[in-house]
Structures are given as C-alpha cells and as structure tokens.
Structure 1
Amino acid sequence: MLLKSKQYPERPRVLITGGAGFLGRDIIRQLHERHPLWYVCCLDLHAPNHAQSSLIDQTYEVDVRDRDAVFTALASCKPDLVIHSAALVPNGAARYSTKDSDWQRVKAVNYNGTVNVLEAALAASCKAFIYTSSIAAITDDLTQEYHYIDETLPTGRATLHYGRSKALAEAFVLDSSHATAGLKVCVLRPAPIIGPEDTQVISLIHDLIAKGETEFIIGDGDNLSDWLYISNAALAHCLAAENVLSSATAAGDVFFITNQQPVYFWDLLAAIWAELGHYPKRRTKIPVEVALVWAWLMELWGWVSGREVGIGRGSVRDAAAVRYVSCEKAEKILGYRPLIDGLGLRDGVRRTCDGYKKQLAARATTGLSNL
C-alpha cells in the first residue's frame, strides 16, 4: 500500500544492486508491496528468477567490479535512489583467511564495487544512496567482546577480511564530499541474516552434524549474539529508503539492524539442529584455550596435507564471541521495529530450516535425475 503521509517524488526510480540475491529479492518484494507505483531496477551479476521478474521494471546483468558497465547501467536507469546490497561474504575457512589474495578478492567486490556504484550514482545525478554494510564492520575483531554496543563505537577494529572491507566501504560512503555533491547517504549494519532462501548460514551449521561436531560447546556457552530474519532486514531497507526520499533525517547516519532478540549462540545452533531432526546426546564444554590449541593443530595438519580444514583458531574465537548491539537509533530515526505476527527469531529459525529442507530435497531430486 502506498504510504501517502510522506512526500516522495511522483514515481521514484530505485535501483537495487544485488537485487537477485538473498537480501535483494526481499527488499524488492517489500518495496513493491509498500510502493507498487515505484519504478524498480535490479543490478546483479545474475538475472532474477522468473517469479521476481514481474516486480522489476528494468534488469541490468552487471558485475559491480566492472566500472564501465556500472556507469553505463546507472546512466540508463537514472535512479533517484540506489540501495547497494551487492556483496561478497566469504564462507567456511575463507571467512577467517589471512591471505592477501583472499583480501584482494573480497575488497574488489565490497570496497571497489561500492566505489564504482556510488560514483556512478553521482554521475547519474542520483539523490540518495543506502549502503548495506554489516555488524561485522565492528565485530569482525575476534579479540574483544561487544556487549550491547551502539553506533558511537568507531570502526577500525575489524581484522577479518569481510568486516575490514565493510568498514572501508562505510568510510568512503560517508565521506562528506558526497553530501556536498548533493547525495544523501545512509548506512545499515544488519546482523547475520537467516531466512528460507539462505544458502550460507544454515548450511554451515547443518554440516556440523555430518562432521560429528555437535556435542561440543566452546567456552562456557553463555555468549550472546544477534541475528536478523530476512523480512526484518528488508523492512529496515524500505524504511531507510522512505526516509532518505522524504525527510532525510537518516542522511549521513549509520544504523545497527537486528531482530532485537539476542540469544545464546550455542542455544541457537541447538534449535537449528533440532529443526533438522538432530539432537546431540551430550554437550561437552571445552575451554577456549584448549580449543585454540586443537584448532592450531588442525591448521598445521591442513598446511602439511594441503587440505582445507573446517576448524581453525578464527572459527574457535568466533564461536565463543560475544556480540550484540542496540537498535535504539534505528527505532528512533527510521521507525524500525521487527515485524510481529510470528516473525520472532524462534519462528524465523523454523521457517529458515523449512526452506533449507526444501533446498536439500531439490538437490536430491536433481542428483537422482542426473543418474
């Protein structure tokens, strides 16, 4: 339903990068529901699926690393607003890599790609720009605990490639020269996102079952963490879009976005395993120091054997980390509150796992059809 209480351009043109991806798809769906008359463009490395195509007015199959192609696409779209959600999220062992080659790969998408998109937006006389950063821009520092932090904490702490790239891109987006040029920018920092079409988070947790690693808890098990259901992540982007196209009270600001339900990390894993039909027979707590020695030995074995290992010192520290944040600023300025009607984190886990089960069934069917 079109919100008539705010003043927007008559039919704003909105371009979503990463629009065919996990988050981008839901942003487009909710934008269409809230503002069916808005003109929506999708820019992604891959074409959107058939069901999504009816919600999109124009599609550009473009890699954000290709500067010329990005400039050409935005010159064609002429957006009033760009929502830049395209990103590379390292998975598995790559999440904790210290290799420069991995850093350059992540930086090329998350920082260089952001530079390309924002500068192309300026060249196309775009009025507003929303950057999808991450809570990791702060918390990808595995040496500290983060208890109910807010946006006043400066970046520059992240050491992992993903968080470093997001913090670097944030600094570029928020540079005062862009506001001087007439571009209203806003940065959102979502917590890790789950949902029925998730292909990363749940698969990693599911893999621990096959590896026989579900009976261990690293640390005391009392480490709280924040998560975010996909519909709430998309809602925050829609609210930010409405803000920067009207009152613009969010311009130049950064917002943490979570489900506002911090949970014990190991309890969340147990809930996901239960939804997937697995119940560990016991839960043995391993001191972090002992787990780090074990992880170091695994890394050494991987180096000698030339094989990738699933457990390293980075993943051990990550599993024992404390990270939860305040969303008070997003509530006050954006009007963000997680959707109700059964979309709490518990129900979000159930829906996410139901979707993952469908993915597994589809893969099994495809595998059989190829025999």
Structure 2
Amino acid sequence: MQVAGMVDKKDFQILVTGGSGFLGSGIVRALLERHPEWRISALDLKQPNAEVLHRLDRFFETDISSADSVHAAFVGYHPDLVVHTAGIVPARQYRYSTKEKDWEHVRSINYGGTRHITDATMSSGCRRLVYTSSCTVAFDDLEHDYYNTDETVPLGFASLHYGQSKTMAEGYVLDPQHAEEGLIACALRPCMIFGPGDTAVLPLMHDLIAKKETNFIVGDGDNIYDFMYIDNAVDAHVLAIENLLSSGTAAGHAFFISNQEPVYFWDFLAAIWAQFGHVPSVRVHIPMPIAWAAGYAFEWYTWLTGAAATMDTGSVKDGVRTAYSNNEKAKRILGYEPKIGLAEGVRLACDVRNKT
C-alpha cells in the first residue's frame, strides 16, 4: 500500500496525545531526536518539562474526556498524523474495581477520549492515526491463560474495566467504516511497560518490600508473564508512525508488542527486589484454597470498612495465570525488535529509582 502524497514530504506535523505521560513523553523525545525536521506537538492535561516544551511546535492543554476541549485543540490545526497514547490505567485496588462510578470514569477517558480524538483527527483533515491499545484487550480475561497469544485471538472477554475500555476504543479506531472514510490507522497492544519514571509497575513491586509481603508466592509459581522496557515500546510506536507515513502496510492492523522474553511472574518480582538489595529469606507457597479464602475475606473487609484492600480475588487470579504474546506480526510488518533486554531494562529502571 502506497500512501499518496506522503513519501516525499519531509516536514511532517505530528501530534502526540498524552505527550507529557510516561509513554507519550518517550515518543515525543524519540521523534525530536530521530526526526529533527518534523514538527512535533503534544496534547495533555499538564505541560511537559521545560526542556521538551521549548522544542515543541505546539502544546495543547486538553481534557480528552471533553469533546469541546478536544475540538478546540484542533481548530486551525491540521497534523499529518496523530499518535494517541492518552488514557488512564486503573492501578492498585482500582484495577479490580466493580463499581459503576469507577467504570464510567475509565470509560469516559479511554473510550470516550479515543472517540473524541479520532473524530477530531478526521474532522481536521488528518487521516493517519497510531493508537496505543493494550494487551489487556485479551489478557484482562482473568478466567483463562493466554500462551503465545497472537492477533487472531478473539476479543470481548475482558472482565476488568481497563481491558474493556481499551477493547471498545481499539474497535472504534479500527472500525471498517472509518477506513472507508479514508482513515489509515493501526493499534499497538503493549504488555506491562516499566522503566525510569513509571508509576504503575515498579512502585507497586517496590512497595511490597515495605509491606513485608515478599515472602509469599501464590500457587505453584510457574505462571509466565510479559513485561516490556519503555524504550522498546517507544521504538515500536516510532516504527508504526514511520510505516503509516510511508508504505502504510500497518493500516487496519493491531499488533501485540513486548520484550519477547516471557518470564516467570514471581521471578520477575524477585529480580526487581534484588536491585534494591532485598532478597527474601524464605518464600512460602500459598495453596490456592487458602489464597481464595484470604481474597474473599479481604473483599468483605473492604466492603464493611471502605478501606483499600491489599488482596482480593482479582489479584489472586492475576497472580497465578499465564499471559504472554507472540510478536511475529509486529516483526514482519513493522520491523520491530526489542533493543534493550529485560535484565538490562530492570537494571536501568531500578538504578534510576535507587537514585531518587
């Protein structure tokens, strides 16, 4: 597929939503460094740091959950391509919430916000969109294991708010009707991303040291998981951007991306703790019946007291299942290969955290 009028153009105007966030800011910095001739803009609720801000073509302070706010950002602005990374990742006890108000909040940002960005993109005349989806479109189905999962896996079984909202959003971006209207879009499904500055992975694992909760393994400990270093996730997005601005062979596709190094979940935790000088003196396997009983007990305690639960049945399910993906499609179409291995990524991420 040849993208008409794009191949010979040099001064592309690129907009990164969520451009001040963990992933979005990495994409902004990578584009500024790798394509200095391009005009890079960012859209977010908060400004990026001063060093990045002065290098941007434009910055839009925008609430993506508001259609009016998004519309205002695109008035008189006509990017060549939009990278939509903005969203919310429910963390800690909110990951397993079943409350309607929590669902409406997540849905309004991840699905509603994606609709607003997609619609504004097309209304502006832009027809190229790279969407940051998530592996949770499949993996937030906590009732099943997912081994070497590729893009043929059926969706619609996610039971958690995040996976449900990302499934809906991905479906909207890749809706065939939008393609008929000229939208050239693809979706990337990264696994759990960690690295310097992340707020969703390392902090939670590090907190277990202070909580004295590193001596336990739920189940047999043989479950395998995917993790991904931030620089590799950024690289995959840059490759997708370059593809849609040239050959366009990624159009209409979703891609699982990871470090391509699935590891035992509980061993990954131990590797993180070791970087902080913590090695559990003993690790006790908690049989599943006991773990289930504890999860239910904590859920009742949370319901009665309103306190935040350390453990519930959702976290028990999450901690014993296998979920990792196959990246062959991303390798074949995007040319994606992770450049920083998992062990090196852990060292780099923890070195930075140890210095803060």
Q: TM-score range by the shorter chain?
A: over 0.9
RMSD in angstroms over aligned alpha carbons? 1.1
**2:307 is matched with which residue?**
307
Question: 1:218-269 deviations in whole A, cap 9, x for unaligned?
Answer: 1111111111110000000000000011100000000001001101100000
**1:336 is matched with which residue?**
336
Distance apart, 1:8 and its partner CA: 4.9
Question: 1:146-192 deviations in whole A, cap 9, x for unaligned?
Answer: 00010001210101000000001011111111111111010000011
1:230-269 paired onto structure 2 within 5 Å? 230-269=230-269
Q: Which amino acid aligns with 1:285?
A: H
Q: Which amino acid aligns with 2:239?
A: L
1:75–1:123 contact (8 Å) kept in structure 2: no
- Alpha carbons of 1:8 and 1:158: their partners in 2 closer, same or farther (altered >3 Å)? farther
Distance apart, 1:75 and its partner CA: 2.9
**1:91 is matched with which residue?**
91
**2:178 is matched with which residue?**
178
Q: Distance in 1 between matches of 2:295 and 2:153?
A: 31
Q: Which amino acid aligns with 1:354?
A: D
Q: Distance in 1 between matches of 2:288 and 2:38?
A: 51
Q: Which moved more, 1:148-157 or 1:286-295?
A: 286-295
Q: Distance in 2 between matches of 1:202 and 1:48?
A: 22
Question: 1:296-353 deviations in whole A, cap 9, x for unaligned?
Answer: 11111222222111111111111111001100000000000011xxx21111111111
Question: 1:123-164 deviations in whole A, cap 9, x for unaligned?
Answer: 000020011010011100110000001000121010100000
Q: What 5-or-longer segments of structure 2 have no aligned partner?
A: 1-5
1:288–1:317 contact (8 Å) kept in structure 2: no
1:111 aligns with 2:108: no
Q: Normalising by the residue count of structure 2, what TM-score does the alignment of the two structures yield?
A: 0.96
Distance apart, 1:288 and its partner CA: 2.2
Determine which of 347, 352, 355 is the counterpart of 1:355: 352
1:193–1:230 contact (8 Å) kept in structure 2: yes
**1:368 is matched with which residue?**
none
The percentage of aligned residue pairs carrying the same residue is: 48
Q: Distance in 2 between matches of 1:207 and 1:122?
A: 43
Q: Normalising by the residue count of structure 1, what TM-score does the alignment of the two structures yield?
A: 0.93
Q: Secondary structure at 2:75's aligned position in 1?
A: helix
**2:128 is matched with which residue?**
128
**1:60 is matched with which residue?**
60
Q: Secondary structure at 1:16's aligned position in 2?
A: strand
1:345 aligns with 2:342: yes
Q: Distance in 2 between matches of 1:177 and 1:28?
A: 30
- Runs (4+) off by over 6 Å: none
1:75–1:120 contact (8 Å) kept in structure 2: no
Q: Distance in 2 between matches of 1:289 and 1:176?
A: 46
Q: Which amino acid aligns with 1:275?
A: Q
Q: Distance in 2 between matches of 1:289 and 1:35?
A: 55
- Alpha carbons of 1:278 and 1:8: their partners in 2 closer, same or farther (altered >3 Å)? farther
**1:11 is matched with which residue?**
11
Q: Distance in 2 between matches of 1:306 and 1:37?
A: 53
1:27 aligns with 2:27: yes
Q: Distance in 2 between matches of 1:81 and 1:113?
A: 17
Q: Distance in 2 between matches of 1:282 and 1:24?
A: 39
Q: Which moved more, 1:115-124 or 1:198-207?
A: 198-207
Q: Secondary structure at 1:171's aligned position in 2?
A: helix
Question: 1:38-92 deviations in whole A, cap 9, x for unaligned?
Answer: 1111000100111222431110010101211211212333111000000100010
- Alpha carbons of 1:195 and 1:8: their partners in 2 closer, same or farther (altered >3 Å)? farther
- Alpha carbons of 1:358 and 1:74: their partners in 2 closer, same or farther (altered >3 Å)? farther
- Alpha carbons of 1:208 and 1:253: their partners in 2 closer, same or farther (altered >3 Å)? same
Q: Secondary structure at 2:213's aligned position in 1?
A: coil
Q: Distance in 2 between matches of 1:358 and 1:157?
A: 41
Q: Which amino acid aligns with 1:181?
A: E
Q: Distance in 2 between matches of 1:55 and 1:350?
A: 30
Q: Which amino acid aligns with 1:52?
A: V
1:8–1:245 contact (8 Å) kept in structure 2: no
Q: Secondary structure at 1:165's aligned position in 2?
A: helix
**1:322 is matched with which residue?**
322
Q: Secondary structure at 2:348's aligned position in 1?
A: helix
Q: Distance in 2 between matches of 1:264 and 1:353?
A: 19
Q: Which amino acid aligns with 1:155?
A: L
Q: What 5-or-longer segments of structure 1 have no aligned partner?
A: 1-5, 360-371
